[in-house]
Amino acid sequence: MSKPSVLVCRAVFPEVVERLKTWFEVESNPGDRAFTKPELIERLKGKVGAFTTGSVTIDAEVLDANPQLKVVSNMAVGYNNFDVPACTARGVLCTNTPDVLTETTADFGFALMMAAARRIAESEHYLRRGEWSKWSYDMFVGSDIHGATMGILGMGRIGQAIARRGALGFGMKVIYHNRSRLAADVEAQCKASYVDKATLLRESDHLVIVVPYSKESHHAIGAAELALMKPTASLTNVARGGVVDDAALAQALESRQIAAAALDVFEGEPKVHPGLLRVPNVVLTPHIASATVATRRAMADLAADNLIAALGFGPNAGNPPSPINPEVLRA
């Protein structure tokens, strides 16, 4: 009996590909070329499953061209690259990789916030250009982290982990805004207080964005929101591109409406708004918040576990660990 076929859309750890080959005929992409939509549609022909990353869009057009597709397994916690309603309507299961990247992403988000507040990237560029000739009392003075007010927009797993770092490690006052207020015991663990969005923007010394991307959260931070922030404030985005209006942010940074920003995600990435590349008071990284060897391997393993189980194989056959639309399993 022949094995079912799956597509691994981007390069991943070879050991993970080999594990998938235990159960499937695997077409992989070791050259890591990003497929165009027509190429993706063609390569999915005959495949019942796809191992995807956030750069691989699965929408109605892709699904309709491949009605045999049963599972799309994302090696990411975010899944705005999936049209989940379209998948659900066609009986295609979507999965993601939550939890395994929470602490690593929180570490990076906190590091970005510190880098923006203390002007680390800006001062390093100054040094590398050979411009440092003397000490001065106001050279690259920034903002303190300890004792400052950190605001978090989006208080899920990663937001809570960042809150704990600030409150417990740096004695920060933590305020947050979320679609729904956390339980009292969770707030106590994070030492965080719920506020409305306007208060969050007005009172934060350092605003960290961790809200998932959706139509509702598109440009949740735009010109109007930036106008409410302190001129001394920093903004850090480790959520998804599109949650922040990058054009408005670039303008706010250029005019010094806010002091600094740090971004790991961008609208239309890997393209970056040219205004962000021009201003000195922003730290830019290429979507690497989860990028440690251990965490990326854990993400890949979980994505493989989901794909194997969803297609009826392995010790968890029929019960993938992290389905996004579990109603498909019950259909």
3-state SS assignment for residue 133: coil
131 is catalytic: no
Closest CA to 212 of 182, 250, 246, 242: 242
202 is catalytic: no
> What's the token pair of residue 47?
């495949």
Whether the bond between 270 and the residue before it is cis, its omega within 30 degrees of 0, is: yes
Of the residues 177, 240, 273, 296, only one is catalytic, namely 240
CA distances 184 to 82, 181, 188, 189, Å, are 33, 9, 6, 9
CA distance 318 to 310: 5
Of the residues 157, 219, 269, 297, only one is catalytic, namely 269
CB 172 within 8 A of CB 166: yes
Measured at the CA of 329, the angle between CA 328 and CA 331, to 5 degrees, comes to 65
Q: What are the contacts of 127-131 at 24+ separation with CB within 8 A?
A: none
Of the residues 165, 177, 206, 287, only one is catalytic, namely 287
15 is catalytic: no
Q: Which residues are catalytic?
A: 240, 269, 287
